[in-house]
Structures are given as structure tokens and as C-alpha cells.
Amino acid sequence: MTRDDARDAFQALMRRAESTTATTTRGGVRKPSASARKPSTLVPCPMCSRHVSSAVIEAHASACDGKRPRLRDEAGKMPSSEKRRDVREDYRGRRAHTGRTTTGFVAKDDLEGGWIARAGECGARSDGARSDAFAALARGAKLQAKVKLPGHYILENFITEDEERRIVDWLDDDIAAGPWRDSSFNGAHQGKKYGVEPNLLKRCVEPARVPMPKILRDLVVAKFAAAHETLKHFTPNECNAINYRKDLGSVLTPHCDDRQLSSDILVNLSLCSDCTMTYSHEKFASKRVDVRLPRRSLQIQSGSTRYDYMHSIANENLHGNRRVSVTFRESGVLQKSPQTPKWRPNQ
């Protein structure tokens, strides 16, 4: 609706309002008509489509004047970007349009330039709904600012650009490092692993099939003891690499690494691009915080962060088309059991 159309509609509305409140004259004294003595009627504002009292419509429309009017097509429908919708993710973080509910990051009708009908008679949310939404956002932001992650540390620029290039080139070498394999474990991505192999089903740790690569031991693990006090006695015996591709929908679903088979310290190296990892408390959903992991940084999870919080990465939080991560773990103190030829963690 253009500004001229809105002005014409407003003038017509005011003429109708004046006709309903016409006065009568008896003996030179002007008296309000019966309709004027009734409670004020609600009329739609031509600028914002809100229903307000006819007594204050002029002041309300003047206040709205100068603001961009909400766009509607000839059928009175509103663009999907203007519609309030519930947003949720499926287990893979993929998003699909379902009509009144949108599952995911981008609605199908947004991508195709489609239109969907607005809910409600007047088409716009009330100020009360907006106020409630802003209040909820403010409370969430205030609470998130108070959430701390005990035992969480980030060491920026842990490796150099040359060391990053050497590690990524080695991981991409199918002959030297083995091929990237599609995985659906804790999300859709590609991965490869080295060192001892925790068997989550049998609750045991099996001997290594592929040893820890020398390039990772020399360029990464060798720096642990001097890098941070938490890593002075951390001696990882396994690691896994994950290849994330944003264009292929890669995600890391919320999870907490095995609390018995893996050690109380997890170390993660970020390569190729930045990302934002989301931490959410397993028992208290309100405790949620987003942490940015810079490229070439080392992340340390210990204490409450390691055991009480789940971590995840949504597809939209991959800040580059490709991200490679390498996570190091220590699978507890291993001892040989006489009943089985496989390794089990010390209880």
C-alpha cells in the first residue's frame, strides 16, 4: 500500500467515523447522537492494520505516518518474512517448510519468494505479543550472560598457518590418512579416527587399529603440557577428525561424550574456518551459551563443562563452507582383563 492509498483510506475512515458521531441540534444546543454516547468502536489503522479506538485513530495514524507500511498482495496476504512462526530443528538440523510451522533455518516459501496467509483477523501481532517477545529475549540474554562454563578454556592461535596447512593436507591424503567416511554418529558429517577404539556397545576399549598419527603428535600433542595447566598430565591415546561441509548440511547434534570410557578432559582443534558451538545444560535448559571457536584455536573441556553440558554445532553456525576439527581423548587407565582379550577401563 502506498502512502497516497493509506492517506485516502484514512480520510474515508474519518468521514465514516464522523457520520457515526453526528450531533443533533435542538433549540440551538448541540447534543451528541445516541451512537456517539455508546462506547467507542474499534477501527483498523490504514498504516499498521491494528484495531484501535475510533476516538484516537487520528492520533494513532499520525504516529504511524512515516513508518514503512506492511506490504500485502491483492489477496491481503503477507510475505512469509512478516509472519510469526514456530521454528525448530530436526535431529539432523535440516529445515523444511510445513505451512504454519517452519522446521529449520529457512522456510521454503522464503527461498522461492512465495506468500503465506497471516494468522489472525487483523493480520498483525498486538503490542502485548511484541512486548512479551522482547521481554523473553531480554530475560534470555540476561540469563545467558550469567551462564558460566566451569573448566572451559580456549587457546587462540595454538598452531601456525603453516602447521594448519600441513595437518589438513595430510588428513585429505586418502593414502596416508585414510579416506573420509560418511557418518551419522552425533550428526551428519564425514570422519576418521586413530588410536584406541572405545566400544560403546560392549563398554570396552579395544586396541588401536591405526596408531595416533605422527604429524598430530608432533604438531599438536607435544605442545599440550606447556600450553595450559589443565593439560600438564593429559596424554591422549585416541583422536577423531570430523569434516564439516556447510553446503552439504553437516551438523553436530547435542551430546555429551561418554563419561566412563573417555577421560575427564577433551581437547578439540579447529581448522579451516571458525564456528559457534552451543553448550546446553542437561538438567537446566535455561543454561545455554554459544561459544565462538576461532580457526586454529584449541578448546579444552573439563570439569562441569565436560560432564554437565551437551555441546553441538548447528549448520548455520559453521562460519565457512568447510571446517575440520580434531578431538583428542584419553580413554582412561587401561588394564588387561583375564576374561577377555580386549581392553577395559579401570573401574
Of 69, 88, 115, the position where a domain reaches its end is: 69
pLDDT at 114 over 70: no
Q: Is residue 54, in this structure, part of any structural domain at all?
A: yes
The pLDDT of 333-346, averaged and rounded, is 40
User: Which pLDDT band, with edges at 50, 70 and 90, does 249 fall under?
Assistant: very high
The confidence score (pLDDT) of residue 334 equals 42
Query: In the chain, how many domains are there?
Result: 2
What gap in Å lies between CA 155 and CA 21, rounded to an integer?
Answer: 72
pLDDT of 254 strictly over 60: yes
Q: What does the pLDDT read at residue 261?
A: 87
Is 12 within the bounds of a domain? yes
Of 256-265, 271-280, 315-324, give the lowest mean pLDDT range.
256-265
Residue 139 in this model has a pLDDT that exceeds 80? no
Co-location of 337 and 235 in the same domain: yes
Check which CATH number belongs to the domain holding 202 and give it.
2.60.120.590
Task: Give domain status of residue 59, yes or no.
Answer: yes
> Which pLDDT score is estimated for 262?
85
Establish if 133 belongs to a structural domain.
Answer: no
Tens digits of residue pLDDT in 151-189: 999 999 999 999 999 999 999 999 999 999 999 889 999
What domain range includes position 177? 152-345
- CB of 326 within 8 A of CB of 269? yes
Domain C-terminal end among 51, 69, 87: 69
Whether 183 and 282 share a structural domain: yes
Q: How far apart are the first and last CA of the chain?
A: 72
Average pLDDT for 4-27: 63
At 269 the pLDDT is 98
pLDDT tier at 220, thresholds 50, 70, 90: very high
End-of-domain residue from the set 27, 45, 69:
69
Same domain, 52 and 156: no
pLDDT of residue 210: 94
Q: Which helix (H) or strand (E) holds 302?
A: none
Contact at 8 Å (CB) between 308 and 147?
Answer: no
**43 found inside a domain:** yes
CB 286 within 8 A of CB 141: no
Alpha-carbon span 329 to 186, nearest angstrom: 17
Quick one: 325 exposed, middle or buried, by C-beta within 10 A (0-12, 13-18, 19+)?
A: buried
Give residues with Cβ within 8 angstroms of 49, minimum separation 6: 70, 122, 123, 124
Helix axes 3-20, 57-64, angle to 10 degrees: 170
